[in-house]
Amino acid sequence: MTESAAAPHGVHLTPCDIAPYRAGNTGVDYVTTFDSGEPGAHLMINALTHGNEVCGAHALRFLFERDVRPTRGKLTLGFANVAAYETFDASHPYLSRFVEEDFNRLWDEETLDVGRESVELARAREIRPVIDTVDRLLDIHSVDLPQAPMLLAGVRAEGRALAAALGAPRHVVIDAGHAAGKRLRDYVRFDDPSTGRASCLVECGYHFHEAAARVAIETSLRFLRCHDAVDPAFLAEHLGETDDGEQLFIEVSGPVTVETDDFAFARAFEGFEVVPREGALIGADGGKDIRTPYPDCVMVMPAREPAKGKTAVRLGRIV
């Protein structure tokens, strides 16, 4: 199977029309800010950091169509990598993740300030002045394979607290991000514990399942609710009562990076399996066994196509 292969689990959720939201009101295409005129935090719900993660576009359309408005502070709704989204092709749906490079690896200041040019860097530089005014960010994503939704809370207590305030999804992953570059959620704006600013990334499940759109909508509404940012009647109508179960916080200890072209998992992992035994075989890489480094090891985001130099899976502990 290659990167360009058709989606093995089908394509049941496809892009929706976001052209009505192009003009916006911020001077930046596809970014709209509603200002209540009252004091309060500036919230942002961001979609399409990855162009093929279409559930976020559905969630923002849901909010726009229902005339969401903040009752305090500001609310910004933004579609990030629209250029990639516009290339979506259901026969090669994984290819529209980005045009030239991953928009979600560009958010260290040096990369943004100087140097290279790309479609994604140009868009990041365009959106950055808006991001620089945001206090609380929800960034909506989805994943390559059918697996349970999760929040990625970063390593700061503020991100963890935001995840807890959201109340769902059940799985919350505490991780430091990627060596390949900073994610939007890790941008300096959200990385200073003295400010009360925070960000959370939600992975809404498999990119092309309709359920991902439902998770994206629900998480967006929870985000508005936990900041008391909209009329309770709006939440009562669209979110209703929620029955929040206990969340499971998983601290990632590190990635398993693929070293050879001959990598295979010992069995199929769908994500969030807990391997009870330390030293249990989970895969092999060029003939070298890969074993769990500690008991009750959680398998986080196993890769669709483990490839040399990339992360095959992250390992974590329940905290």
The binding site for Zn ion (CB under 5 A) comprises 50, 53, 141
Query: Closest CB to Zn ion among 143 and 258?
Result: 143
Query: Closest CB to Zn ion among 50 and 222?
Result: 50
Distance from chain centroid for Cα 286: 32
Task: Give min distance, CB of 247 to Zn ion, in A.
Answer: 21
Query: Closest CB to Zn ion among 160 and 207?
Result: 207
Query: Closest CB to Zn ion among 50 and 214?
Result: 50
Residue of minimal Cβ distance to Zn ion: 141
Query: Closest CB to Zn ion among 50 and 128?
Result: 50
Residue 239 to residue 230: CA distance in whole angstroms: 12
Query: Closest CB to Zn ion among 40 and 56?
Result: 56
CB 160 within 8 A of CB 211: no
Query: Closest CB to Zn ion among 53 and 186?
Result: 53
Query: Closest CB to Zn ion among 50 and 156?
Result: 50
Query: Closest CB to Zn ion among 234 and 272?
Result: 272
Task: Give min distance, CB of 11 to Zn ion, in A.
Answer: 17
Task: Give min distance, CB of 29 to Zn ion, in A.
Answer: 21
Residue 58 to residue 17: CA distance in whole angstroms: 9
Closest by CA to 45, choosing from 242, 216, 230, 231, is 216
Task: Give min distance, CB of 268 to Zn ion, in A.
Answer: 22
Residue 87 to residue 94: CA distance in whole angstroms: 11
Residue 214 to residue 232: CA distance in whole angstroms: 20
Task: Give min distance, CB of 34 to Zn ion, in A.
Answer: 25
Burial class (CB in 10 A: 0-12, 13-18, 19+), 237: exposed
Task: Give min distance, CB of 49 to Zn ion, in A.
Answer: 6
CB 152 within 8 A of CB 192: no
Task: Give min distance, CB of 230 to Zn ion, in A.
Answer: 26
Task: Give min distance, CB of 85 to Zn ion, in A.
Answer: 12
Task: Give min distance, CB of 48 to Zn ion, in A.
Answer: 9
Residue matched to tokens 């986080």: 300
